[in-house]
Amino acid sequence: MPEGGIFGGVFTRGGPVADDAAWLRTMLAAESALARALERAGLAPPGAGAAVTAAAARPGDFDFAELSRSSALTGNPVPGLARALTRLVPDPAAKTAVHRGATSQDIMDTAAMLLARDAIDAAADSLAGAAAAVARLTDAHRGSLMIGRTLLQQAVPVTFGVVAAGWLAGLDGALDGLASVRETRLAVQFGGAAGTLASLGSSGAAVKSLMASELGLADPPLPWHTERLRIIDVAVAMTRVTAALSKIARDVTLLAQTEIAEVSEGAPAAVGGSSAPRRGGSSAMPNKSNPVAAIAILGCARQAGGLLATLVASAEQDHQRAAGAWHAEWQPFSHLLELAVSAAAWARDLLENLTVDTARMAGNLAAAGGLPMAERVTTLLRDSLGTPQAHDLVATAAARAASSGVPLRDVLLATPDVADKLSQAGISAAEIEQALNPAGYLGAADAFIAAALAAHHAR
C-alpha cells in the first residue's frame, strides 16, 4: 500500500506525520533520550545512552506484526517495543538503560508530543505559504469590486481584497495558535508507575529534566498522566487550523460554482494526452472541473471537530492512570494531526494557484441591476422621509426591479409614484445615479485591508 493508503492523497497530503512508522520513530526517540538522561544522571554506565540510541536508530529492525501482537497482550505497544529494543542493544550493561524507571504511558505521551511538534511544524510551513499567497491576493485586489453575499443572498458590494483580508486574518490566527502551543505546551512525560518515579529514588526529577533537555521539550513541574490539557491544547490548535481553512475552502467552492465563476483553482491539468487524468475531472462527466483542493480541505475539516470532541471526552481519567480513556486518545489524536497537516498542504496549493476573475466579478455585480445598492439609496432618503418610509419605498422599488428584470435605477426614476416621492424629498436623478455607484459604497474596506496586511507583516 502507498503511504496513507488509498485515501492518502486526500487526507495525508502533507505526509503521514502520525502513522505507525512515525509512532515507532518517536517512541524510539523517547526511549533513546531516556537512556541518555539516565547516563547523564549517573544511573547508567558510560556509553549506554549511545548504545541504546544506535539500536533505536534502526527502525527497520523492529517487526510491526510482533509489536501488534504484543499490544494485544499488554494493552499498548511499549512493552513489546522495550523488549525488542533491549534485544538489539549489544552491550549487556547498556541494556539496563532501556526503559528504566519509565512506564508505557511515559513513552507514548512523550512520543505524542514529538509527533505534535513535527505536525505543527509541517502545518505551520504550509500555512505560512498559504498566508503569503493570500497577502498578495489581498493587496492585488484592494479595488476589485464584487457582490457581497450574506445568508447566501446578494448583499452590498465589497472587494475581493477585503474578502481575502478576512482569510488572511484567519490564517494568521491559526499560525499564532500553533506557535503558542509549540512554545508552551509540548512537554516530556516521565512519571513512572504512578507518577512519583519511585524506582529512581531521589534522582527521578533530575532524570525527567535531562530527558526533556535531550528531546527539546519542556520540563513540566510534574508528570501529567491523567491531566490531559496538553493533548487537548494540541488538538484545539490543529482544529483551529482546519476551521480557518474551512472558511476559505467553502468560499472558494461557492465562488467557483458555474453560475458564479468568480474564482477557480489554477492548478494545471495533468500532461500526457487525452487519456491522462486531470485534477478536477469527473468519472462520469467530462465537462466537469471540480475544485478538488477546496473539497479536500473541507473533507479534512469536517472530521476534525468530532476527533476533538473525542479527545475532550477522554480527559475524564481515573486516579493516577486511566483505564481506557488514555487508550481512546491514540487514534483520534493521530488522525487529527494528519488531517490538519493535509488541509494546510492543500490550502497552500489552492491559494498559491487561485485564479481570480475580476471581469466576472464586475459582470455579476452589474447584472444585479443595482439591487446591491438598495441600502445606500435608503440611506440617501432617510433624512427626508424617515427610516421606515425610506426603507419601505426602496423595498417596494427593489421588489419591482427583481420581478421585472428592470434595473433599480429605472424603477426609481421612471415609476411615477416612486419618482414623485423622490422629487418631494428633493432627491435628484444625479444623486440617485451617484448612490447606485458601487465603488462609492465600500466604507472602511480599504482601511480593513491595510490593517490586516500590517498585522500580517508584523508577525
Side-chain-side CA neighbours of 202 within 13 Å: the count stands at 0
Residue 69: CB partners within 8 Å, gap ≥ 6? 80
309-312 long-range contacts (CB < 8 A, ≥24 apart) are 311/228, 311/231, 311/232, 311/235, 311/336, 312/232, 312/235
Q: What is the 3-state secondary structure (H, E, C) of 160-197?
A: HHHHHHHHHHHHHHHHHHHHHHHHHCCECCCCCCCCCC
CA distance 329 to 372: 49
Residue 144 among the catalytic residues: no
CA distance 273 to 129: 31
CA distance 275 to 185: 50
Length of the chain measured in residues? 459
Given 68, 199, 282, 428, the catalytic residue:
282
Residue 282 among the catalytic residues: yes
Given 182, 278, 321, 382, the catalytic residue:
321
Identify the sign of the CA torsion 81, 84, 85, 86: positive
- Side chain identity, residue 450: A
CA distance 235 to 355: 32
Q: Of 422, 450, 265, which Cα lies nearest the Cα of 346?
A: 265
CA distance 411 to 436: 12
Q: Is the CB of residue 113 less than 8 Å from the CB of residue 217?
A: yes
- Side chain identity, residue 157: P
Local structure of residue 159 (DSSP, 8 states): E
Enumerate the active-site residues. 282, 321
